[in-house]
Structure 1
Amino acid sequence: MKKADVAIVGGGIAGLTAAVYAAKAGKQTVLIEKQVRMGGRAITNQKNGVYFNMGGHALYFGDAWETFRGFGLSLQGNKPSIDAYGIWKGTLKTLPTNVRSLLATPLVSWKGKMEFAAWLTKLGKLDTRLYDRVSLREWIEGQIKDPMVRHIFYSLLRTASYVVAPDLQAAGPALGQLKNALKGVLYLDRGWGETVEELRQLASRLGVACLTDNKAVSIGHDQGKVNHVLCDNGLKIIAGSIIVAAPLEEAYRLVPRAESTALHTWKEQAIPVTAACLDVALRRLPKPKQQFVYGIDQTVFLSNQSRAAYLSEDGSQVISLLKYQGEETNARQDLLELEQTLDLVQPGWRNELAAKQYLPKITVFHDFMHIKRKENPGPAVPEIEGLYVAGDWASHGELLVDAATASAKRAVRHILARTETEGIPEDEYGGAVSNL
């Protein structure tokens, strides 16, 4: 038996972020992770001297970046060039990403170029929250006149959000993510595993008990209050506040009588987002200029992350390809489509192949803001005092890792308010926690 003020189930980005904040607030904190390694889908695997993330990862300059910077993490890496191509009718065309490429692209008419340039200017000032209950298709079809500019916006917003559901996806969060994308992204040296390890070390220095290779099997609650987490090895962690920073389905299984709580509503309304991910390391690029490609009439994306980050020991170029998936998936067909994309962009790539990783269906996030949502999840489960949720699915409009860090902050903020404990002054957290 172990006692703590706060017990956190799940050692991914959300769980580690919550653990750091709780410990900084003076809470005795235990973090429980079922795998041997922390990080969840943010782990990095090494293969033949190559650092492979679990699919394509880029750090936007949003909530997660501000949070990590406030923690003092190194975030070593660089912003990649945004010179891009688009795949349209089986050919590569210059994609407009700046004034020079907008003038040069044959994809868009002069009238369309003027509209595209106007929208890039408008986006910076756009209050995207006005469109949180408007579908992405409704926004694009109602706001953009030129057909090709519409196609390009569908592609840009799909890439920023990973979602292929324009009739369901709320336009506001997707547009907000695109605004962040226009600031550029950061590709991290040696993959996201470096950042995860820094988070783990920070949590340990703050006194968090990080229990890896411990699988939580149930969260005990009685008379409307949580009281413990039970692990499969018999370990029981007694705690008055528990954060479940795990996938929604897992959270539902952990809580007895979850069907009588808001967890049931959140589970019923959830629409998971998945992608097929192919990562390859090439000894050299057959076409060095073709490193960043959007599918316009295909739901694919390609990026050479080595153009900005150190991802191999021998100088191999690590290229990440994504096939954004809808409800129907086919692992073999998706792989074929991704390989055909490589054939188009880097012909002869098989002769340069040094390492390869294929993930046929990885969950990008377990829910997102869509127009069928009844309510945003968490942070508190109202029927059980002391029970909270965090994770990319517990989004209140944020996307991807930004949803993980933002939801973690919401959960800790509620714990501090409930226990009548004052938060840490802003200067100790840095700018990342101004809303904690």
Structure 2
Amino acid sequence: MNSWRNWLADLHKLEEFHIPRRLAPVEFGKILTVQLHHFSDASCEAYGVASYIRVIDVIDEKLCTLALAKSRLAPAKTQTIPRLELTAAVLATKMADILRQELQLEIDESTFWTDSEIVLRCIKNEDKRFHTFVANRVGLIHSQTIPSQWKYISSVQNPEDDASRGLSADELLSCRRWQNGPDLLWSDSTCWPDQPNFNGGLLDDEKEIKKDVKVYRVSEQTDSLVDRFLERCSSWYKLKKSIAWVLRLRCILLRKIRNEDPLPNNSLTVAELHMAEEEIVKVIQRQTFSKELSDFKAKQEMSKETGRKGITGVRILQKAPSRPEAQRMADLRSDRITPGKPPFTCVGVDCFGPFMIKRGRSRVKRCGYIFTCLTIRAIHVEKLDSMNTDSFINALKRFESRRGKPEKIRSNNGTNFTSAEKELS
């Protein structure tokens, strides 16, 4: 409460705070260079940017004044100070773009100052990869600036430190550097603070750096063309067709190499499908009986194990003959097939909707009941205003007065149907 009262008491003092509207006084000489300097800073409570315009005339006189300043409260979700500093740096690039568009001056140079070495290392980084939060913001900074524009300044010299940490009204009125910039802008660029050496780059244990993927083992899996098609094709015919097209392509290429007449461009033939089937069988035989085929080619006697393998396969085929399957369905109820009775003797009922209809200037919901004759599938539709029991009873009475009283009614046992049954019985 005391802080609020102090802030309220200082509020009227801000009337004494003045910022000159003219960037350079009339007596200032001919402007030679116009520069923009953006200072960013962040704390646990807020972050912000202060942008100053620095002009130099032909006799090397310098003038600095505040051009634009913005501050933001830190997010409710706690963020680390380096992340807030990086967010402030992104805000600095946006403010630089705004000033370039709004100022009717030709800006010769833009410089960005921050007191965070971690932010500068991230911006000047060329070999590390960051996590999403940092990567997106560093990419935005790189899209609007170049790393050489970013410089380091100590917290003592940074004017934006006043905004991120806050000043009272009296401190703001007496703070000269907030209005006119830090002392370094009034001095020659040769007197500016020395820049740290970032050749070492970022440390590997930084939390924002993505860990490099390390490969300890590489295995190569060589699958035949038939194996790949086996994974993709869902039926034997599709597999044969795919292999047949591959074989035709091979034949076309061979004819082209041998300068022979090209094949006619037509659909696959039965002979090509049969050839594809033989090739598939050969490939599977080479995979399954590779040792036996090598022994056969070398004219060696086959082992007993090979004979057992073939006989076992034959027996399996004999024991598991294919049987055709027949579709089975339940018998129809008697009220579905009894002839000689009028329509709607046995009915099924259900509700559908709702639908939006226009009544006057308003729109209301309406539903419907559908009565279906179980024998000839004729239908009767009744409109209802709601889905309650009374609406169904009224709809049923209208149906009976037009179609006659049914002997049997089938439904899905909805609450409106079961309640109507109890009320009518």
State whether TM-score is above 0.5. Answer: no
More strand by share: 1
Shorter-chain TM range is under 0.3
Q: TM-score, normalised by structure 2?
A: 0.17
Bigger Rg, structure 1 or 2? 2
